[in-house]
Chains A and B, each alone.
Chain A
Amino acid sequence: MPDLYYENNLPFVRSFGGREIFLEERSIYRRVTRSRVLKISALLMVVFAAVCIASLCIGVVSIPATDLLSALAGVMGGSASPPSEGQVILLDVRLPRILFGGIVGASLSAGGVVFQALLRNPLADPYVLGISGGSALGAIIGIVLGAGSFVLGVPFLAFCGALTTVFLVFVAAGGSRGFLMDHSLILAGVVVNAFFSAAILFALSVVNSVELHSITFWLMGDLSGADGREIVTAALCLLAGFAILYAQARKLNLMVQGEETALQMGVDVRITKYILLFVTSLVTAVAVSLAGIIGFVGIMVPHMMRLVFGSDHRLLLPAAALFGASFLVVADTLARTIIAPAELPVGVITALCGAPYFIILMRRRGRG
């Protein structure tokens, strides 16, 4: 058994296991290597591209794939002829919405992965620290005050609301030794969310019906309003945030095993935790303030990906982000076609798929 020796010529210590026994041929375990992460990411990117193309063609006005090609060729070549109606729908209406959906889906899914791991709670979602309640209240104030007439007016107020909430939750949960305890974080999030819910209900009972409609759409999540500037902002936040989160992926694996374990393995738990909480909150807050509260994506996608690819965050994070992007684009395509020409808020679709899925998941957990 020469391969059982250490490389640095340490004396051999007897082994009891002998050869490895593959008791479970059906085990889905595969080692996480760089090439595997790259392969799976590439595959999921192809899936996302396919979903986007399909979603571009589907809609109230059905546009054949040939028009799509000519539209794209027109953009690339900068053709002089004025764009056709189909091209306008594709490039100015559907494309931004699809890209935006992808960005929001990726943000929420990656956020869900990180919060579940960090709080060691499979029921955590990106809103668990009260981000949803805070941003909703900010948005409602914005809508009531007529901030919608300014560029990024409502999202800006929603973003402020989200950040204020996160700050409040951090302060409320700060332990005596400066450690953020998991349960007090969750508890503080629940309390803050409940408080804001009451404030939201109060606001809903005093606003007029036009405002009520736009507030309801905001509360259920809506991807239709995105303009180019918002999409670029959200994309940059997502990319920067994801890079920071991915750099912590292996530390996150250890944090899941318990903070003390992580600490004695050499992880600077406190700094890592602050970085992860802060960056994830920021990415989520950007997504929420632009798209409203889209539920269940951030809780469902991480679980699905964990079932398929295992729990190693070096694979789980990119897989969840990419799959979450595809998932939300599909959900939004359904939302804008199911009762066409009218539209549903995309949150309705995600919740309608999400709740049954969750019950199945919980029942399986209960049996295990």
Chain B
Amino acid sequence: MPVIEAKNLSFRYTEQPVLDGVSFGLEAAQIIAVIGPNGSGKTTLLKMLNGTLFPDQGQMLLEGRETRRWNRGELARTVAMVPQETQAIFPFFAEEIVLMGRFPHLRSFVFEGKKDYRIVREVMGQTDCLAYAHRRFNELSAGERQRVLIARALAQEPKVLLLDESTVFLDLKHQAQFLVLLRDLSRLRHLTVVFVTHDVNMAAQNADAILLLYNGKKYAIGTPSDVLTARSIKEVYDVDVGIDLNPHNGLPRVTLFT
């Protein structure tokens, strides 16, 4: 049974539908990239997956059950999302931010215990942000903040991790570390990863499957070599590209003709 299943999913904020009859199924322990032009409904789809929004029509199923039938705490223990940016108005410390990821696991009035701090330490190690655990979140650089937010999502111990452009501010080293981490987590802990990105090559090199959205509709879903063709990219993005195979791993590589 697919861990995530969309059946004829539709949603509109105003008149214009943002998602229009999208159906797909995603298997557990896979890394799935969602790509598509601006305004194609990528972020809205993530919000459907984490229960921030519910479909107007159709069904969004998580582990075979509609997201609107989940209670919030249960959902938060299953799905975690790394937002693009977060408001940092008041001076919380980096470790406190990560600790907030433990919220869905704690009952009210309970302070975090040894286990929570151990998990926080572990995920901060995985995202390489222990070095600034004691610094204020709003004084960190964009990339450092992003690693803290990734750690917070991991501290939720989710089964499904949603990423919204979560690598844009990361430097090369941390991008590489992060992609390795995602692979490890999906292989070793059966984490399902759904990430939205504009970097078609990053998706091609790292995703097990790619979902290509176009004007709120599913254009294609499948392996990178199935989805990424010169013709599909021309139709969806209206640009000319050349596609060859990356000599290092045999995966498709997209070159933009400019």
Contact = CB atoms under 8 A, between A and B. Distances in A.
Interface of A: 3-7, 10-24, 27, 29, 31-34, 116-117, 120-122, 247, 250, 253-254, 256-258, 260-261, 263-268, 306, 310-312, 314, 368
Interface in B89-115: 89-93, 95-97, 100-101, 103-104, 106, 108-109, 111, 115
Interface of B: 47, 50-52, 72-73, 75-77, 79-81, 83, 86-87, 89-93, 95-97, 100-101, 103-104, 106, 108-109, 111, 115, 117-119, 121-122, 124-135, 139, 156, 177, 180-181, 184-185, 188-189
Closest 3 CB pairs of A and B: A266-B76, A15-B125, A17-B125
A250 B101 CA distance: 11
Given A20-B133, A260-B52, A266-B75, A13 B184 contact: yes
Select the residue from A10, A13, A306 with max chain B CB neighbours within 10 A: A13
A13 B130 contact: no
Nearest to A368: B139
A11 B188 contact: yes
Select the residue from B47, B133, B139, B189 with max chain A CB neighbours within 10 A: B133
By DSSP majority rule, is chain A's interface helix, strand, loop, or mixed? loop
Nearest to A122: B89
A17 B92 contact: no
Contacts of A31: 95, 117
A33 B103 contact: no
A20 B50 CA distance: 32
B111 A314 contact: yes
A132 B86 CA distance: 32
Nearest to B122: A4
B91 A310 contact: yes
Contact of B185 (A13, A24, A263): A13
B129 A17 contact: yes
Contacts of A310: 91-93, 96
A259 to B, nearest CB: 9
Nearest to A312: B96
Select the residue from B75, B128, B130 with max chain A CB neighbours within 10 A: B130
A254 B117 CA distance: 18
A256 B130 CA distance: 23
Contacts of B103: 250, 254, 265-267
A62 B73 CA distance: 59
Contacts of A21: 130-131
Contacts of A14: 126, 180-181, 184
Contacts of A312: 92, 96
A12 to B, nearest CB: 8
A263 B50 CA distance: 9
Contacts of A116: 90
B185 A265 contact: no
Given A7-B118, A13-B181, A264 B79 contact: yes
Contacts of B100: 253-254, 257, 265
A11 B51 CA distance: 29
6 contacts: A6-B118, A16-B127, A17-B128, A257-B87, A266-B77, A312-B92
Contact of A267 (B47, B50, B72, B132): B72
Nearest to B79: A264
A13 B188 contact: yes
B73 A247 contact: no
A17 to B, nearest CB: 4
A121 B89 CA distance: 8
Contact of B108 (A3, A24, A250): A250
A310 B75 CA distance: 29
Given A29-B95, A266-B77, A17 B86 contact: no
Select the residue from A4, A16, A34 with max chain B CB neighbours within 10 A: A16
